[in-house]
Amino acid sequence: MPPLAPKEANTDSKGVPLKGFGVLSSGSSGVWPALSLIPPSYRAHRDTPRVSRVTSASTGTGNVVRLLDVRDAPLDVAEVIAAVSDPAAGGLNVFVGAVRDHDHGQGVVRLEYSAHPTALDRLAEVAAEVAAEFDAIALAAVHRVGVLGIGDLAVVSAVSAAHRDQAFAASRALIDRLKERVPIWKHQVFTDGTEEWVGTPD
């Protein structure tokens, strides 16, 4: 059974696949994952440098957005908590997403995450939006790419606010919008040998 991936894709001026995502007006790009982790029909340019880590993002939201990253190294919950810790915060809410051992009633062997070059820019957009919409003191989000085993952390996000209700609401919005809008693809490999792509555009 072949992976469930898009059959065609548009590209930007650099040949980067963009179907369903587009680019920012700045034309900026960030992460280009290992080609083996890109949905099959997106492997259009095999001479593209293989880069899997981006370390900076500009959000224009002052000191509220403390940490954003897409990285191919294990995630550190303490790092994210430290980023949003603040003397003015009375509540700090953390979401940790981990790889589970099953999905759709099937056993899972591993997950392989990859990110579009605009992923960090899109994450910055989401973070700025949440920072402006909610009365948060600080927020942070880090997503993993690469091959992850059962129990590995895939995403860690956190929000601090003056009160718990604000922290809960902003934290839910941050992770929900990240999952909905940041172009990060999940490739699931099951125990029966089948596989599935999740998060690719239609």
Q: Give pLDDT, residue 189.
A: 93
The half-sphere exposure of 79 on its side-chain side, counting CA atoms within 13 A, is 12
For residue 173, the model assigns a pLDDT of 98
Cβ atoms 136, 174 nearer than 8 A: no
Run of H or E including 80: helix 77-84
**Average pLDDT of the segment spanning 154-161:** 98
| pLDDT band (50, 70, 90) for residue 198 | confident
SS3 content of the chain, % helix, strand, coil (to 5): 25, 30, 45
Q: How many Cα atoms sit within 13 Å of 135 on the Cβ side?
A: 9
What is the reported pLDDT for 82? Answer: 97
Residue 31 confidence class, pLDDT cut points 50, 70, 90: very low
Burial of 43 (0-12, 13-18, 19+ CB in 10 A): middle
Question: CA 118 → CA 102, 131, 153, distances in Å?
Answer: 29, 20, 22
Query: Is 14 a residue whose pLDDT tops 90?
Result: no
CB atoms within 10 A of CB 26: 8
**In order of start, what are the domains of the chain with their CATH numbers?**
35-198 (3.90.1170.40)
Q: How confident is the model at residue 125 (pLDDT cuts 50, 70, 90)?
A: very high
Residue 146 carries which DSSP code? E
Tokens, residue 2:
């072949």
Look at 14-18, 60-64, 190-194, 195-199 and tell me which has the smallest mean pLDDT.
14-18
What number is the average pLDDT over the span 77-99?
98
Residue 26 has pLDDT above 70, yes or no: no
DSSP letter string, 85-137: --TT-SEEEEEEEE--SEETTEEEEEEEEEE-TTHHHHHHHHHHHHHHHS-EE
Helices (H), 134-188: 164-181
Return the structure tokens found at 11.
């590209």
Instruction: State the Cα–Cα distance between residues 129 and 84, nearest whole angstrom.
Output: 17
- Report the pLDDT value the prediction gives residue 136, as an integer from 0 to 100: 95
**pLDDT recorded at residue 148:** 97
91: phi then psi, degrees, rounded to nearest 5: -140, 140
